Structure 1
């Protein structure tokens, strides 16, 4: 069942004949606008980046802990242990937050698809396609992924045995990988939305 703060599912087909068609169509347009904002709005993109920023913060603690352990002295081990605990304290809640967001996205997507398939309204359907938002998501995610790849390669290319520690490489590569994966998630979400909208509304129009 969807959460209470989400729109309800569309009424069953056998009940629509008993409902006011104009009211149902108005509800459909309003719910599609709300669900589209939750699925592909700028707020959703910023939340995705916020989760990535929390993962980056957690990995910074882990990377610094790794570098502290490589000092091979009692103070370094103690410092590294404290940093590792802080890193786990950030990464574990971030993982739960990410899983909760994925479940929420699945609920929003299911409701969005159900309402889109319940009727046809060219004005409301055009808003669901959201080509401008899709392009924004695509460009922003591509830029973030490119930055992540650059950061990851920047950690490996200048590394020299004896001069660069494994902790330093893992620290920088981890940050780059998080940014790269976040960019890929944004691109995948945009591509899936565009493919679904083109297939669904083209089929209904034909």
Structure 2
């Protein structure tokens, strides 16, 4: 979801040419810092929300087309439906592709983080990659989005009354609920994945060093 070039993976073992351990650790820290920022940084979450909002706007136009089609059937309504559907797809297709490419890119970022972190142990630098604040910023709002999405997806159809809500309105709200749920699920998965990686990275690091990292 970002055009910024990712740090490359570490070179194969047979062609590594670091002059000493300190040089290796310095390159490792730089690569992991950039990869961690691209993975769990706050701008990434804001970009996910912005993209999901664009997808939801496209779905809203599709819902408006369904409602128009259900309320009246004539030449003008067919034209209106066609315009709404076209605009809706124009919003959903590119934003859906951006989200898909972002998921694929995140997989590459996780793989490269694992590759760089496995090169050596460096507790003094690694404690800063816990990023507890960023993880919470991903986890809490994403969990709330999941809860709201599930509520819309199940409560709206269960409480809909014939003659009060139309099928088009229920379908549109359920779709919004699914979008919210999926967006929140992506955020929760990112936060949990980063936490698990940080736990493995810091396994065996003395508690005093972890405490220092909390202030970095």
Distance change >3 Å, CA 4–CA 169, structure 1 → 2: closer
- The answer to whether the 8 A contact 1:33-1:124 is kept is no
CA RMSD in angstroms, aligned pairs only: 2.2
Separation in 2 of the partners of 1:47 and 1:158? 33
Aligned length: 203
What are the ranges of 5 or more consecutive residues in structure 1 without an aligned counterpart? none
Corresponding residue for residue 211 of structure 2: none
Corresponding residue for residue 36 of structure 2: 36
Cα offset, 1:158, TM superposition: 4.1
Separation in 1 of the partners of 2:4 and 2:161? 56
TM-score for both structures, normalised by structure 2: 0.84
Cα offset, 1:88, TM superposition: 1.0
Corresponding residue for residue 55 of structure 1: 55
Say which SS state the counterpart of residue 8 (structure 1) adopts: coil
Say which SS state the counterpart of residue 70 (structure 1) adopts: helix
Separation in 2 of the partners of 1:108 and 1:201? 19
Distance change >3 Å, CA 84–CA 106, structure 1 → 2: same
Corresponding residue for residue 108 of structure 1: 109
What are the ranges of 5 or more consecutive residues in structure 2 without an aligned counterpart? 207-216
Cα offset, 1:70, TM superposition: 0.2
1:136-175 to 2 correspondences below 5 Å: 136-153=137-154, 155-175=156-176
Separation in 2 of the partners of 1:182 and 1:161? 30
Say which SS state the counterpart of residue 118 (structure 1) adopts: coil
- The answer to whether the 8 A contact 1:65-1:80 is kept is yes
Distance change >3 Å, CA 4–CA 172, structure 1 → 2: closer
Say which SS state the counterpart of residue 194 (structure 2) adopts: helix
- Give CA-to-partner distance per residue, 1:102-151, whole Å, 9 cap, x none: 22112211111111111111133212222221122111211222232344
- The answer to whether the 8 A contact 1:144-1:179 is kept is yes
TM-score for both structures, normalised by structure 1: 0.88
- The answer to whether the 8 A contact 2:156-2:173 is kept is yes
- Give CA-to-partner distance per residue, 1:24-74, whole Å, 9 cap, x none: 211111111110010011011111111211111110011001101102321
After alignment, is 79-88 or 193-202 more displaced?
Answer: 193-202
- The answer to whether the 8 A contact 2:123-2:202 is kept is no
Separation in 1 of the partners of 2:51 and 2:125? 31
- The answer to whether the 8 A contact 1:120-1:204 is kept is no
